[in-house]
Amino acid sequence: MPRRGEHTGNFPTSSSRLPAQRRVGVREVVALDGNGEMAPVALDPTAFECETLAAELADEWVELAAAAGLHAGTNRQYRRAIRAFCEHVDATVPRPRQASLARAEPDLHHAVTEWIRVLPTEHKAGSRTPAWLAGKLRILIGRRIEHHERPVAGHLHGWVDGSLGLRRGQSQELDEFTRSDKKRLVQRAWADHLAIAARIRRGWELVASGTDPAKGGWSEPANLLWALANDAWTCGEISQHLPVWSNMPDSLRGLLPQGDRPGWRQEGLAEISRPRVVPEQP
């Protein structure tokens, strides 16, 4: 009995494989099992209505197993992924006998996304199975795309290059936001960040240009900010020196949010001017 690692794989050589020709019959891989014994893992494409699709995926799996020397357990995972997807195609895709990675109709990209959407419902919460099933299928389709003589139609290229749609260890698909939605959210958040940063810079510029309001006047926003930034006057003290609302200058009225009632007057103006967290001056 050979020891683990002494087998290089019981597969045909690259010269004996004919990827350009259509294989027929059962696809089988023989590889080391966890017990150190050679174990066959087989898949029969004729077991599915989408026989052509099953054969295409099985051919990619057999060649990948030969090239990578996959163990029997990993081969069973690939076989399970092919079976699960082909069963989904048989049950949901119109004209499954015409299904092929090389044809635009029926739309296998839609079939893939629908399969991923329902996968979590077929497993217990928190299962990793949906993610690795989808991942194995994507590897096989991606491998076919790498061979230019093996056409892949539709939008499957985008799915292979994009997000899988399932997180490891999660039990539901991650489709709360589209990519365009995420892009807009990032743009808006960045715009808000820039606006806040500009407001902070403007505030410190006013502080630098201000002086003690007891000397420079209580109607200048720069002086009020200077007093607060330098702890020269408290909010209560500042509000006592501000004019009533009817006499409030426009420079101070503009500091209050639009729509607030005039009853805020001095107290509201002083309070809104007081920084909750004073950022360190640059």
What average pLDDT score do residues 209-219 get? 86
Residue 53 has pLDDT above 50, yes or no: yes
Q: What is the pLDDT of residue 171?
A: 41
If one compares 78 and 232, the residue with the highest pLDDT of the two is: 78
Alpha-carbon distance of 45 to 41, in angstroms, equals: 13
Alpha-carbon distance of 210 to 179, in angstroms, equals: 47
Q: What is the pLDDT of residue 78?
A: 96
Phi, psi of 180 (to 5 degrees): -65, -35
Q: What is the pLDDT of residue 161?
A: 80
Six-digit token string for 262: 């005039």
Sequence-ordered alpha helix ranges (H) in the chain = 51-68, 72-92, 108-118, 129-146, 156-161, 179-209, 213-216, 221-229, 235-241, 250-253, 265-273
Residue 188 has pLDDT above 60, yes or no: yes
Bin 69: left if φ > 0, else alpha if -120 < ψ < 50, else beta: left
Q: How many CB atoms lie within 10 A of CB 70?
A: 21
Q: What is the pLDDT of residue 63?
A: 94
pTM here is 0.52
pLDDT, tens digit, for every residue of 71-108?
Answer: 999 999 999 999 999 999 999 999 999 999 999 999 99
- DSSP string covering 168-199, please? TT-SS---SS-HHHHHHHHHHHHHHHHHHHHH
Distance (Å) of CA 68 to CA 55, 60, 75, 216: 20, 12, 11, 80
Confidence of residue 144 (pLDDT cuts 50, 70, 90): very high
Residue type, 184: R
Residue 260 has pLDDT above 70, yes or no: no
If one compares 27 and 214, the residue with the highest pLDDT of the two is: 27
Q: Which of 93, 103, 87, 95 is nearest to 154 (CA)?
A: 103
